[in-house]
Structure 1
């Protein structure tokens, strides 16, 4: 009898367990189906804000409307593809690059960029509908759209070059770093922890002595004839610069084969790294042959040549980073100096957009002089320093075409002309193109002689020159504006301007937040005339610090870059 009752109970328990299992299975199936057929808006926003998104180059129109911010080049099939980014409205040069198909620039992680996006990874596993992604594993572009059966997404071929990407209308980000915040970060860097060297050295003691002398030196009212308002502390800068000239010793590594190493390119958008390499390696004042005497060690590679050479070999960004890792291992294996400080007394000078990314790990402790000085992308104020973007058309005459007019001769309030790459410039044109007679805001201008002449005339006749970021935060328009004595208006959140550690940018430029583009004219008109005149004078006085010379002269761009590196190394030195 008891056995019969137990058998009945066992069967009931078995049926209950089976029903529970089926119920759970149905719930799981419903969730899976829901995930496949629906993408809630909150998850879409989560994906768009994800750190995993980076922007790829947009398809451009290859017709008669030439995009002046790009160099065009041919691939092995003879088809035009986009190569070097030229952020100059009138400049251009023949490209030496031969990049592989689908090999994309790293771009800022902004959801509102009106271009294609590169998809790396996401917890959702699927991109938003209507946006094109690069599948890293398969090397093909994926367009997120409904398939013929109404669900999922289709994998497509790369877009034709003449197709235009749709504008993704998402408000501009307000997560920016203001000048005030940057000043705070600079002060914090002076008190931050540092990497203590494994053993002491005479050059370190010499640097510590120089640092104390700079900090405790006597105050001079107007040292060396410098214009005080454009500096944070002109007396301190003067002392630091003088000590650099007298004491700084740099060792240049001889390792590395051309063209990536020891072969500078001194024309074009990325010429800053080439000019510095040329002048540094040929310098007899600072360079020493005995590395034991050196305070700093220069890694003489060209990020532009690295990109060109390895792209021709079909290598991607990660492999470029690995290439630099092998170079660092070579240096560390042959010399003891890298291992003493972990590379903290080493420096590099690199202008290509990718330089910040491919040096971030192998050279993370080095002082990096970078054009792409984006705080949101790992640029460290107080350790890294900003390399000015100087588009060089003529080695013999860097100022060719720039003729500064007096303030009374400048009838235009603000001027901008350039290609529409990046998310910001289309917004600028949307608000200000053909809206006000004194706001000359255009798209790309012609590359012919007349187009170049017109561009220069606008630069030379404007009070304010708009320096709006492109794909990356930097732009050569800042230096172009300084050359033409036009007050730069920097619209590029998270961009650290050149020589930020010593120059007072508020004395010769205006910074406008990206989200304040609709108020641009109101901001400029509200600047009093006397303030504008002071800014214009500041631009004239700061110009000498942005000039290249075939034979370097005091306070010129070569010396300012070297001083920025020297200054940041001094800030790292602590008594043992």
Structure 2
């Protein structure tokens, strides 16, 4: 009996050891695959700890073909924030910002909500651990954070443009060898070909695990490609679109299915603080309307097709750029650390390498600020320049809209009738960039039909400028320092046929709009021949262009309460459309 008992005990012990071994192996497998249930081992063996990567030795500059640099005197820290909800107040200036922000002290952006945890010193008692850097799909750092941490705030230190005392991970340098050769000038016709090619060949990173939202995107693509033919739709005028049937079906699917998760993390004023007036108003209006939206926004990130990073490229420059420094490193570092925070707290960034995340930035610097850590995201950019890394099929061209009144963004909408358009062509503006001085050299005070000026004298409500826009047949939209110009949307707003003079500029909503059907596009080299080009357009064709400008106008209007096919919905649609056509199984 004793021997039988010992044998049975040994057998049960072996079974128990096998069970423990299999369980541990399964845990390791889940951890290795990074399934969407968090870091299993980390949650088992740690508590209330935020690992932060140590500084990378600058002597070791190449890691998995990605170059790393260590920014001197530019550091970041995470302080713990328990966010307090604040009600936005809209002033006539159009700036939505949390109460108490001192714009004169641009470098101080520490959120007052840190006080809810007692004091900053308590927040600084964060245990540091070395975290391995996972360099996949460009640069993808994975940082694990205890689920007990509520949220974190990126903060600035002592009126310096450097971000703080401890950097999450240095920003990688750009790998110039990965850039494809781009022609000196890419015409609109060539852009169309590039867009079609991207729909065939471009695919985002394959998800590290498949989910229902991926299947929904693939199904949506199939339905769009096989859209029923649209014959008569009073809201959609076919000739202004590449394919009105595909656009209509895509828009319908967006309304029916799209869910967006908006990250709440991040400190004002750089995040969650939209400007609603001025030339960068597009990013602000979209942020305001997206964060308040109930139709598309979901509180369950597992159901989201898209993830919104609500930062303001304008406020990033306002708060952190050191005047005359000619350096954007600390701005780039700020965004880099913000993404590290998102990747640390959630599994969704790492699932797709950021391919289902998007940002909306209108500042001229937005492309350069976002082309490293955020390169895999869908970037909706006003500065949509083929020569500056704009990716067809992924990135979207954001309309630059000059909003003069936040309370009534459609004030002064409309233009004169054809018979009252007495000016052939009009332009007025500051001498930004190299194109405008050439324009004035050839046409300022040279021809009574060509009203080409520098900056007009100030008038109440900008009445002189608006009068010329409404009274002109063609409005010249010449690039400034960068390819984009608010005059493109202004021309449509005031019902003047836009004449775009900006080589390599990708016009807004290029995925669906046929710009050559309602605008005139002139190469920069043809400025000396500008009047002849315009006069060569027959009156019948001009009237068709003008009519189509009025038809497309609905897509370029901001409304305090969004309406079907308006600017808010069109921006969101471009992002949705690009995600649908870049998704992979």
CA distance in structure 2 between the aligned counterparts of 1:454 and 1:265, rounded to whole angstroms: 25
- Are positions 1:250 and 2:291 aligned together? no
Counterpart of 2:239 in structure 1 is: 229
SS at 1:256's partner residue? coil
How is 1:436-447 mapped onto 2 (pairs within 5 angstroms)?
Answer: 436-447=447-458
Question: In the alignment, which of 443, 448, 455 is matched to residue 432 of structure 1?
Answer: 443
- 1:52-87 Cα offsets, whole Å, 9 max, x none, are xxxxxxxxxxxxxxxxxxxxxxxxxxxxxxxxxxxx
SS at 1:225's partner residue? coil
Question: In the alignment, which of 279, 292, 295 is matched to residue 302 of structure 2?
Answer: 292
Counterpart of 1:513 in structure 2 is: 523
Counterpart of 1:192 in structure 2 is: 201
- Post-superposition offset of 1:217: 2.6
- 1:355-374 Cα offsets, whole Å, 9 max, x none, are 10010001000000000001
- Post-superposition offset of 1:174: 9.1
Partners of 1:99 and 1:308 within 8 A in 2: yes
Change in Cα spacing, 1:442 to 1:363, as seen in structure 2 (3 Å) is: same
SS at 2:194's partner residue? helix
CA distance in structure 2 between the aligned counterparts of 1:540 and 1:411, rounded to whole angstroms: 19
- Are positions 1:374 and 2:389 aligned together? no
- 1:373-401 Cα offsets, whole Å, 9 max, x none, are 01101111211001111111112222323
Counterpart of 2:317 in structure 1 is: 307
Partners of 1:367 and 1:384 within 8 A in 2: yes
How is 1:416-565 mapped onto 2 (pairs within 5 angstroms)?
Answer: 416-449=427-460, 452-565=462-575
CA distance in structure 2 between the aligned counterparts of 1:334 and 1:408, rounded to whole angstroms: 61
TM-score (norm: length of structure 1) = 0.69
- Post-superposition offset of 1:407: 1.3
TM-score (norm: length of structure 2) = 0.68
Moved more, 407-416 or 560-569: 407-416
- Post-superposition offset of 1:535: 0.4
- Post-superposition offset of 1:92: 13
- Post-superposition offset of 1:402: 4.1
- Post-superposition offset of 1:316: 3.7
Question: Which structure 1 residue ranges, 5 or more long, are not aligned?
Answer: 1-90, 101-172
Change in Cα spacing, 1:535 to 1:326, as seen in structure 2 (3 Å) is: same
SS at 2:298's partner residue? coil
- Post-superposition offset of 1:447: 1.8
Counterpart of 1:178 in structure 2 is: 187
Counterpart of 1:218 in structure 2 is: 228
SS at 2:374's partner residue? coil
CA distance in structure 2 between the aligned counterparts of 1:509 and 1:97, rounded to whole angstroms: 42
Partners of 1:386 and 1:497 within 8 A in 2: yes
Partners of 1:223 and 1:234 within 8 A in 2: no
- Post-superposition offset of 1:97: 7.5
Partners of 1:402 and 1:460 within 8 A in 2: no
Counterpart of 1:407 in structure 2 is: 418
- Post-superposition offset of 1:312: 5.9
CA distance in structure 2 between the aligned counterparts of 1:538 and 1:277, rounded to whole angstroms: 29
- Post-superposition offset of 1:239: 0.6
CA distance in structure 1 between the aligned counterparts of 2:327 and 2:434, rounded to whole angstroms: 25
CA distance in structure 2 between the aligned counterparts of 1:463 and 1:92, rounded to whole angstroms: 31
- Are positions 1:342 and 2:349 aligned together? no
SS at 2:338's partner residue? helix
Partners of 1:479 and 1:546 within 8 A in 2: yes
- Are positions 1:386 and 2:397 aligned together? yes
Aligned residues: 411
- Post-superposition offset of 1:187: 1.1
- 1:205-235 Cα offsets, whole Å, 9 max, x none, are 0111111111113212123631111111111
Question: In the alignment, which of 309, 317, 330 is matched to residue 319 of structure 1?
Answer: 330
Partners of 2:94 and 2:277 within 8 A in 1: no
Partners of 2:470 and 2:496 within 8 A in 1: yes
- Post-superposition offset of 1:99: 8.4
CA distance in structure 2 between the aligned counterparts of 1:318 and 1:325, rounded to whole angstroms: 10
- Post-superposition offset of 1:568: 0.2
- Post-superposition offset of 1:449: 2.1
Partners of 2:94 and 2:405 within 8 A in 1: no
Partners of 2:94 and 2:275 within 8 A in 1: no
CA distance in structure 2 between the aligned counterparts of 1:92 and 1:252, rounded to whole angstroms: 22
Change in Cα spacing, 1:469 to 1:291, as seen in structure 2 (3 Å) is: same
- Post-superposition offset of 1:531: 0.7
CA distance in structure 2 between the aligned counterparts of 1:276 and 1:225, rounded to whole angstroms: 23
Counterpart of 2:214 in structure 1 is: 204
Change in Cα spacing, 1:532 to 1:97, as seen in structure 2 (3 Å) is: farther
- 1:96-147 Cα offsets, whole Å, 9 max, x none, are 67889xxxxxxxxxxxxxxxxxxxxxxxxxxxxxxxxxxxxxxxxxxxxxxx
SS at 2:201's partner residue? coil
SS at 2:513's partner residue? coil
Partners of 1:178 and 1:494 within 8 A in 2: yes
Change in Cα spacing, 1:181 to 1:98, as seen in structure 2 (3 Å) is: farther
Question: Which structure 2 residue ranges, 5 or more long, are not aligned?
Answer: 1-92, 96-101, 108-181
Partners of 2:501 and 2:523 within 8 A in 1: yes
Change in Cα spacing, 1:297 to 1:289, as seen in structure 2 (3 Å) is: same
Partners of 2:383 and 2:483 within 8 A in 1: yes
Partners of 1:98 and 1:312 within 8 A in 2: no
Counterpart of 1:20 in structure 2 is: none
SS at 2:489's partner residue? helix
SS at 2:290's partner residue? helix
Partners of 1:174 and 1:515 within 8 A in 2: no
- 1:433-484 Cα offsets, whole Å, 9 max, x none, are 111111111111012328x222111111110000000101101001110011
Partners of 1:186 and 1:501 within 8 A in 2: yes
SS at 1:237's partner residue? helix
